[in-house]
Homo-oligomer: A and B are copies of this chain.
Amino acid sequence: MLLKIGYFALISQVPVKTLRYYDEIGLLPAVQVDAFTGYRYYNTEQLPRLNRILALKDLGLSLEQIALLLDKNLSNEQLVAMLQLRQAQLQGDVAELQAQLGRVEVRLKQASEGHMTNYEIVLKTVKPMLVASQRMIVPTNDQVPTYLGNAYDAICKHMAAHNLKTAGPCLTVWHSLPQMENEDVEAAFPIDREIPSSESVQIHRLPEVYVASAVHQGNFDEFTQAHAAILKWVEANDYQLLEQYREIYIAGPNENAGVSTTEVQFVVKRNG
């Protein structure tokens, strides 16, 4: 009893196009193909295989995995392993979607309350970065600009002495959250090859970090608004601040008609 594809589609409730596709990739070949017309013929004994395909697909396995399972008749352990893999994937996917749902809901609340966000907070991973830097404790906060200025000068000199140019915008790494005095600060320039450290300038690799970041453009004074925006976001989205943040001086005011661009990155981690 050979069945034409349309009838086989009818009894199996699977679209003709899908059956043709499964034939094409060899997952469920037609039992017979007319050499002249190209008509595919099926029979009812293929239903169990088709149903096995559908059942496994319903667990989210790929057709490639299903083909493996059905044709290499894998051991039970291998089936278990494949299902465990899928389970882990699904758990990850669910967690991710729920986190995303959380972010959508926070944003939705903001939007429906009419708060305009001035800053977009972006989560990202910052790769490890080779830098020439100087790290110091600054006794009082009003001394920070002077200290940083001196540090950048010293680093530049050291780099120039080794004939090295910066490989990106310079940055400041704050090794503790903002405080009133004795800030632990590191002034740094990214570089793209190793040179020796000097007494005052260290060459080392900043670690990879996961950050919540915002870009501030315009007046340098309004800079702390970007900080505030990140802190608010971090709280609303149930993330946790870790003890470091960075400021990256992407463009100075002299480069861009008085408008400077700075990125603030707070190292964070997801709660729970």
Please give the number of chain A residues whose Cβ is less than 8 angstroms from any Cβ of chain B in the complex: 62
Decide if A13 is an interface residue (CB 8 Å cutoff). Answer: yes
Q: Could you say which of B87, B105, B248, B263 contacts A104, with CB atoms under 8 Å apart?
A: B87
Q: Are the CB atoms of B94 and A52 closer together than 8 Å?
A: no
Q: Could you say which of B47, B120, B215, B251 contacts A1, with CB atoms under 8 Å apart?
A: B251
Alpha-carbon separation in the docked complex, A45 to B80 (Å) = 53
Known contacts A83-B108, A101-B87, A111-B80; A51 and B93 CB within 8 A of each other: no
Alpha-carbon separation in the docked complex, A213 to B215 (Å) = 56
Query: What string of 1s and 0s marks CB contacts (under 8 Å) between A207-218 and chain B?
Result: 000000111010
Decide if A31 is an interface residue (CB 8 Å cutoff). Answer: no
Q: Are the CB atoms of B108 and A80 closer together than 8 Å?
A: yes
Least distance between A248 CB and chain B CB atoms (Å): 7
Residue of A101, A114, A259 most packed against chain B (CB within 10 A) = A101
Question: Within residues 75 to 119 of chain A, which ones have a CB less than 8 A from any CB in chain B?
Answer: 76, 79-80, 83-84, 86-87, 90-91, 93-94, 97-98, 100-101, 103-105, 107-108, 111-112, 114
Q: Could you say which of B59, B123, B169 contacts A11, with CB atoms under 8 Å apart?
A: B169
Alpha-carbon separation in the docked complex, A84 to B91 (Å) = 24
Known contacts A11-B168, A120-B54, A215-B51; A76 and B261 CB within 8 A of each other: no
Which chain B residues lie closer than 8 Å to A33 at the CB level?
Answer: none
A interface residue numbers (CB < 8 A to B): 1, 7, 10-11, 13, 43-45, 47-48, 51-52, 54-55, 58-60, 76, 79-80, 83-84, 86-87, 90-91, 93-94, 97-98, 100-101, 103-105, 107-108, 111-112, 114, 120-127, 168-169, 213-215, 217, 248, 250-251, 255-256, 259, 261, 263
